């Protein structure tokens, strides 16, 4: 029989093998806070949902065979890159896909309908909007953050013209952070890379490209924000590849916690408020003169490695945030 969890339980919605989510679950358990972890893909095979509505907010139960929580008593949700539900294998297409869509709508809809008092980090619908880079840069500039000149186009002539007008080094970077999935277990990240404008050809027509002025930098900063708490570390590149994109050579990186300038702090907090987010992993390039240039924000960015390398208390900050709710 499932064990009922006390009011104020935290739901951790993440893939089973997500080591970053593990850190939060362990810290919640260390603090003796009720927690229930599951993946959306667990539903409906390994997760049961029964809720009813009768003129009032939804009431009912979510259980996985070990734990049981009343949805109206949930205190917080940590939502971190779960897998979507898949339809039962015993169904043929198109019924299997349809069943998976129904499962996603039912479970995710139930989470969206949780009481307004529930703390989220982050709501996936809000996260999805904020993750789009074309929307990030104008908002950053609106709130006083310095941003690089940027072009999004599928027109090679426009790309060449823009690069010539800029008259400075240019990088091409992906518009979204997803890796290339080769279908055989290999996943390949697409890095930011310097380009030679003279080599731009008709392949630009094949999809949208993001071209951006290169920011000569002394180092980069990963700024992790949880609620109103800002935790930053300098990232120093020890190789040419890491200098171009530090994600390509982690072994060449060194880290140093740093302070956040007041103007930058105000800007990133306003940026998060604009989108309704509780968490963001911001990337900045810092020049020799000390100017911070906003590059992007990943609303569900990884943080476990930066906590370990730089000694930042990110797990504690996330757990503090998730346990602040009052029922």
Pair (208, 242) in one structural domain:
no
Look at residues 235, 197, 198 and name the one whose alpha carbon lies nearest to residue 217.
235
Residue pLDDT, tens place only, 101-121 = 999 999 999 999 999 899 999
Q: If phi over 0 gives left and psi between -120 and 50 gives alpha, with beta otherwise, what is residue 276?
A: left
> Of the candidates 121, 137, 158, which is a domain's last residue?
121
The upper half-sphere exposure of residue 98, i.e. CA atoms within 13 Å in the direction of its Cβ, equals 5
Pair (192, 277) in one structural domain:
no
Domain of 193, CATH number, reads: 3.30.1490
Cis, peptide link before residue 194, omega less than 30° from 0: no
Is residue 11 in some structural domain?
yes
Pair (235, 301) in one structural domain:
yes
Q: What is the pLDDT of residue 221?
A: 98
Pair (54, 71) in one structural domain:
yes
Cis, peptide link before residue 133, omega less than 30° from 0: no
Pair (236, 107) in one structural domain:
no
Domain of 134, CATH number, reads: 3.30.470.20
Pair (55, 107) in one structural domain:
yes
Q: Average pLDDT of each block of 10 consecutive residues along the chain (327 residues)?
A: 90 94 96 96 94 90 95 95 89 92 94 93 94 96 98 96 95 81 70 91 95 96 97 96 90 96 98 97 97 96 94 96 72
Is residue 324 in some structural domain?
no
- Count of structural domains within the chain: 3
> Of the candidates 182, 214, 246, which is a domain's last residue?
214
Pair (162, 135) in one structural domain:
no
Contacts of 99 (CB under 8 A, 6+ apart): 87, 88, 91
Domain range for 245 is: 126-147+215-311
Is residue 220 in some structural domain?
yes
Pair (114, 258) in one structural domain:
no
Pair (103, 68) in one structural domain:
yes
How far does CA 164 lie from the centroid of its chain? 34
Domain of 54, CATH number, reads: 3.40.50
Pair (249, 273) in one structural domain:
yes
Could you tell me which residues are beta bridge partners of residue 182? none
Q: What is the pLDDT of residue 327?
A: 39
Q: What is the pLDDT of residue 43?
A: 94
CA max distance for the chain: 69
Residue pLDDT, tens place only, 119-178 = 999 999 999 999 999 999 999 999 999 999 999 999 999 999 999 999 999 999 999 866
Mean pLDDT of the chain: 93
pTM exceeds 0.85, yes or no: yes
DSSP string, 49-115: EEEE-SSSS-EEEEE-SSEEEEGGGEEEEEEE-PPPP---TTSPTTHHHHHHHHHHHHHHHHHHTS-
Is residue 159 in some structural domain?
yes
Q: What is the pLDDT of residue 225?
A: 98
> Of the candidates 161, 184, 214, which is a domain's last residue?
214
Pair (131, 265) in one structural domain:
yes
Q: What is the pLDDT of residue 186?
A: 66
Is residue 323 in some structural domain?
no
Cα separation, 183 vs 196, in Å, equals 31
Residue 201, judged by CB atoms within 10 A of its CB (0-12, 13-18, 19+), counts as: exposed
Pair (268, 223) in one structural domain:
yes
Q: What is the pLDDT of residue 176?
A: 81
Cα separation, 251 vs 255, in Å, equals 11
Q: What is the pLDDT of residue 185?
A: 66
Is residue 316 in some structural domain?
no
């Amino acid at each position: 029989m499932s064990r009922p969890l006390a009011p104020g339980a935290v739901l951790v919605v993440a893939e089973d093998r997500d080591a970053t989510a593990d850190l939060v679950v362990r810290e919640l358990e260390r603090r003796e806070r009720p927690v229930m972890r599951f993946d959306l893909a667990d539903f409906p095979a390994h997760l049961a949902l029964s809720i009813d509505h009768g003129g009032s907010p939804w009431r009912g139960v979510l259980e996985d065979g070990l734990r049981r929580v009343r949805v109206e008593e949930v205190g917080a949700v940590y939502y971190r890159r779960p897998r979507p539900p898949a339809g039962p294998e015993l169904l043929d297409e198109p019924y299997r896909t349809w069943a998976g869509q129904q499962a996603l709508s039912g479970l995710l809809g139930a989470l969206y309908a949780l009481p307004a008092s529930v703390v989220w980090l982050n709501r996936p619908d809000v996260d999805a909007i904020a993750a789009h880079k074309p929307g990030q840069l104008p908002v950053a500039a609106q709130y006083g953050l310095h941003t690089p000149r940027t072009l999004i186009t599928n027109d090679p002539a426009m790309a060449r013209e823009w690069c010539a007008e800029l008259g400075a080094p240019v990088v091409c970077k992906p518009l979204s952070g997803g890796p290339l999935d080769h279908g055989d277990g290999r996943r390949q990240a697409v890095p930011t890379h310097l380009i030679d404008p003279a080599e731009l050809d008709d392949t630009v027509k094949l999809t949208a490209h993001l071209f951006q002025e290169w920011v000569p930098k002394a180092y980069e900063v990963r700024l992790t924000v949880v609620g109103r708490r800002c935790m930053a570390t300098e990232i120093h590149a020890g190789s040419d590849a890491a200098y171009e994109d530090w994600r390509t050579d982690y072994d060449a990186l060194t880290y140093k916690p740093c302070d956040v300038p007041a103007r930058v702090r105000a800007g990133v907090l306003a940026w998060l408020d604009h989108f309704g987010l509780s968490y963001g992993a911001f990337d900045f390039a810092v020049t020799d003169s000390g100017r911070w240039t906003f590059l992007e924000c990943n609303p569900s960015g990884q943080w476990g490695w930066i906590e370990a390398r730089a000694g930042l208390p990110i797990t504690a900050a996330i757990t503090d945030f998730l346990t602040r709710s009052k029922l």
